[in-house]
Amino acid sequence: MGRLSKPMMGFMLLCCLAVLTEAEYIKYKDPKQPLGARIKDLMKRMTLEEKIGQMVQIERTVATPDVMKQYFIGSVLSGGGSVPAPKASAEAWINAVNEIQKGSLSTRLGIPMIYGIDAVHGHNNVYNATIFPHNVGLGVTRDPQLVKKIGEATALEVRATGIPYVFAPCIAVCRDPRWGRCYESYSEDPRIVQAMTEIIPGLQGELPAKSRKGIPFVAGKQKVAACAKHFVGDGGTTKGIDENNTVISLNGLLSIHMPAYYNSISKGVATVMVSYSSWNGKRMHANGDLVTGFLKNKLKFKGFVISDWQGIDRITSPPHLNYSYSVEAGVGAGIDMIMIPYNFTEFIDDLTYQVKNNIIPMSRIDDAVKRILRVKFVMGIFENPLADFSLVNQLGSKEHRELAREAVRKSLVLLKNGKSADKPLLPLPKKTAKILVAGSHADNLGNQCGGWTITWQGLGGNDLTIGTTILNAVKNTVDPTTQVVYNENPDAEFVKSNKFSFAIVVVGEPTYAEMYGDSFNLSIPEPGPSTINNVCGAVKCVVVVISGRPVVIQPYLAKLDALVAAWLPGTEGQGVADLLFGDFGFSGKLARTWFKTVDQLPMNIGDPHYDPLFPFGFGLTTKPT
């Protein structure tokens, strides 16, 4: 046989190169390919083991690079207070997240993991982050554009630490302030909660004009995937008991608790978290009619549905009583990603067994994985899986703190001003001889921020993060010649003998989160009441209440001259002094009904027995001086 001619050899070489290039070209790795084509290409390459791995979310403390690689884990989270180191810097966070991500990228298909964290009032687990007022205060502002800006700032601070996914916003409609999560709710009125879903385009970016309904959207490296929670009815449980049963008709559920989900989905929210609570006795984590039938099929939600922390364990009572049943019920109901968070091999083993034995159909697994991959592709983490240090200066930036201070000013509600209308106490004069600042919450940054701040339950004291207490804000605001005396809990004799011009008393609730905040009496704990009595009985006083909800205040109302509901204002206490001393005027209106006694609860605007101390929408105004 004769030798090949040179042109023929060249042609064959080109053919070989073409085959090699074809082999190297992987469609799912090409950002120019349509979203559907990328998902389809990657899905057909995946084994059952790799698919189930994508459905697993584990806590960062068990997420070693080896675990990520061996089990193909799809997601990692920081639980409340779970940090790489105490007071960790943005750089330390980035390094920790990237280290875990490298484990995911070393797998056969190199599917990046998605790291999630609670950022419910700013980047609340992270030292030096801007802590915004909790939602209970933001609802008072009735200012969706302000909330959108807070979303934008939060996204930048979260991305500053290398994290692309937040478990926020909470769009619960709290119907009973005895609930320990009431401060995570914008209002008892679903219309205010709907308006505040404007935080979603703040977090994720503005949805492009011709987007298909229900498709998740995240606009690049300065934005984060959001999570509307907790689906659905979490704010309507009996007696406000956390994780309890919401007893309401379908019509009531759809008209009170569901509306904000319509808005969230139309704004392209990437994920939805299921509630621990039940609806008419059926656990939401096992409610296929609502999770699959309503959310996915009727509302056309195309992002992924995530469980709450150990949420499927709690389908049974006690939790984890029959785990294989819980896996079947939760995944079968339509939950796509399971926040496990620790014992992940048990979940993987159980789900694998159930798929191989046709207990859970393969189509259900494929639906879950398609949704998870859709969010990951849309976020751009296949192209940019590792974070860099380009945004670290955004954490706790001056601009974000100014925004938080503005939010504080707009979220305060003036409930009383003067013993009579013609003699208002506020605004206070900056220049006077001597003023008293008193109360357990006057010089306590932790109490001012509330739960979900640095740790899950929050921390009292001033060592948790960077911020301005109300006491320091007062000192910053008054004239240099004005003497500010601070006494946390003075007796009446001390107040009488010191000839104060007036007093500012700051009292309220301790920090709490979730079920630890459930309260049947809603009283301000001691020494709060004693401080009010001792001070306001002896000198003109304004009482500032720091709380996650309305609390019992009627017994003290006649004694005090002015009353301000400051909710949980966060790190920027200067916003409180801005209003007390008249640099800005009060404008906030109650987004919750303020009851007279707890016996009236639940009591919401529109109820036949409506007889509040301060009605929904109430709020006195002042003009800046």
Catalytic residue positions? Answer: 308, 514
DSSP string of 440-476? TTTT-HHHHH-SSBSBSS---SS-SSS-B-HHHHHHH
Is the distance from CB of 410 to CB of 193 less than 8 angstroms? no
Tokens read off for 59:
């806590």
Is the distance from CB of 414 to CB of 621 less than 8 angstroms? yes
Q: Which of 431, 310, 325, 305 is nearest to 375 (CA)?
A: 305
Counted residue by residue, the chain has a size of: 625
- Residue 131 CB-density burial (10 A; 0-12 exposed, 13-18 middle, 19+ buried): buried
In the numeric block, the tokens 């002015």 are attached to 562
Hey, which bits of 219-324 come out as E strands? 227-231, 245-246, 271-274, 278-279, 282-283, 304-306
Q: Which of 336, 273, 285 is nearest to 313 (CA)?
A: 285
CA distance linking residue 266 with residue 598, whole number of Å: 38
Q: How many CA atoms lie within 13 A of 273 on its CB side?
A: 27
Reduced to 3 states, what is the DSSP secondary structure of residue 536? Answer: helix
Q: Which spans in 267-423 are helix H?
A: 288, 323-333, 344-356, 362-379, 398-411
